[in-house]
Amino acid sequence: MVTLSEKILGAPAGTYIDRKVDRAFSHDGTGIQAKIVYDRMGSPRLANPSSVYIIYDHLSPANNSQTAELQAELRQFSRHEHVHFFDIGSGICHQVMSEGHVLPGEIVIGADSHSCTLGAFGAFATGVGASDMAGIWVSGETWLRVPDTTGFILSGDLQKGVEWKDLALSYIARLGMDGATYQALEFTGESTGTIPMEGRLTLCNMAVEAGAKTGLFYADKVTARYLGRYNLSADEQSPDDPGYVREEFLDLDDLEPVCAVPHRVDTIQSAGCLAGTPIDQVFIGTCTNGRYEDLARAAAILKGKQVRVRTIVVPASMQDYLKATKTGILADLIQAGCVVGPPGCGPCLGAHMGVLGEGEVALSTANRNFKNRMGIGASYYLCSPTTAAASAIRGEITDPREVV
């Protein structure tokens, strides 16, 4: 009875361990904080520069002079230390790392809470604070308590107009925002083979919204095919009678388009019930749903139509941006009236490029709708790209099944 986390970490749940970190990534915000701690340590040498990644995404491009100066300092440090450096426009750290920088079985630590996204590859991926990241830079290792695991056993197929984001919001609602604190979530069952990598990334991305340490899929043919795009290969992993502390069964046929309502990620209502709710802004992007496939589904709905509310689209990475340009879906989005921003987090963190005003309401494909996150006094509903696009056309929350 061994879970995937126990296999990767090489110890039973509950054990405290020290382990070598295979990939350690930070963004512009946490990277500069980690550097401050690193400098206080007397600027020792990085234990393993080739495992360190710095990716500019949160305030990218810089939103003011102070940010620009801090980013210049971290840029200089990155080049001096010969770490992997991704400047403005490269994309969101989790998405950039998913583009050929993570392999099954690895231990991946990010200085960002949504680092659990990369468990989609069958890696143990989790987030730490900037001080811990500085420790990893210096030692090449981190400490962990091996988590217990809740298993999500998936069956059935998604119905038309229902997306992996609807599954993500539905499983968070089932667990509650603290329902899986310091646990791993494993997604298994007959339906996992039908879930593409972009769906797996969305599902693992939201694991932390239930308090989980990480979310994981077993590496399989889908994983191998995806990694093949980057000339990488990986052995498949298989469940070995894992000992879950809790099992949850989810039939995908039962799911419907949903929204998380203000101000909790775990409180959902069907898009049909919310239909007619007026919105001021739609945001399609983020590490949850800013991938090419997300933009393509939105564009399929918006092509040849016009949005009724301001609609901001931010590709998750330069690769997504380029592909959307080459296939023409970016032009479809722009012709429909969308504003397209440079790859990165965009307005998700409420710092720039689409912050809301007091009393305004946004519909967003992000992962968090906490009070004041994207603008003081504003309210946010979370949904899939398809629901977001359908709602943008009508200027109010819309059940996407009415338009797809």
Site for ligand SF4 in 36-65 (CB under 6 A): 57-58
> In the bound complex, what is the minimum distance in angstroms from residue 146's beta carbon to ligand SF4?
25
For ligand SF4, the closer of residues 161 and 290 by Cβ is: 290
Please tell me whether the peptide bond between 61 and the residue prior to it is cis, using omega within 30 degrees of 0: yes
**Given the rule CB under 6 A, which of 217-225, 261-269, 341-349, 373-381 is the region that contacts ligand SF4?**
341-349
Going residue by residue from 272 to 311, which x/- string records binding to ligand SF4, judged by CB under 6 A?
Answer: --------------xx------------------------
Length of the chain, in residues:
404
For ligand SF4, the closer of residues 114 and 297 by Cβ is: 114
Residue 198 interacting with ligand SF4 (CB under 6 A):
no
> In the bound complex, what is the minimum distance in angstroms from residue 23's beta carbon to ligand SF4?
16
Residue 128 interacting with ligand SF4 (CB under 6 A):
no
Q: What letter represents residue 283's amino acid?
A: F
With beta carbons less than 8 A apart as the criterion, state whether 5 and 216 touch: yes
For ligand SF4, the closer of residues 318 and 393 by Cβ is: 318
Give the one residue of 4, 92, 134, 356 binding ligand SF4; rule: CB under 6 A: 92
For ligand SF4, the closer of residues 143 and 370 by Cβ is: 370
> In the bound complex, what is the minimum distance in angstroms from residue 79's beta carbon to ligand SF4?
23
Residue 348 interacting with ligand SF4 (CB under 6 A):
yes
For ligand SF4, the closer of residues 125 and 234 by Cβ is: 125
Give the one residue of 19, 35, 101, 114 binding ligand SF4; rule: CB under 6 A: 114
Size of the site for ligand SF4 (CB under 6 A): 12
Residue 349 interacting with ligand SF4 (CB under 6 A):
yes
Give the one residue of 191, 367, 369, 379 binding ligand SF4; rule: CB under 6 A: 367
> In the bound complex, what is the minimum distance in angstroms from residue 247's beta carbon to ligand SF4?
28
Residue 112 interacting with ligand SF4 (CB under 6 A):
yes
Q: How many CA atoms lie within 13 A of 156 on its CB side?
A: 13
For ligand SF4, the closer of residues 148 and 198 by Cβ is: 198
Which residues of this protein are in contact with ligand SF4, per CB under 6 A? 57-58, 92, 112, 114, 286-287, 345, 348-349, 366-367
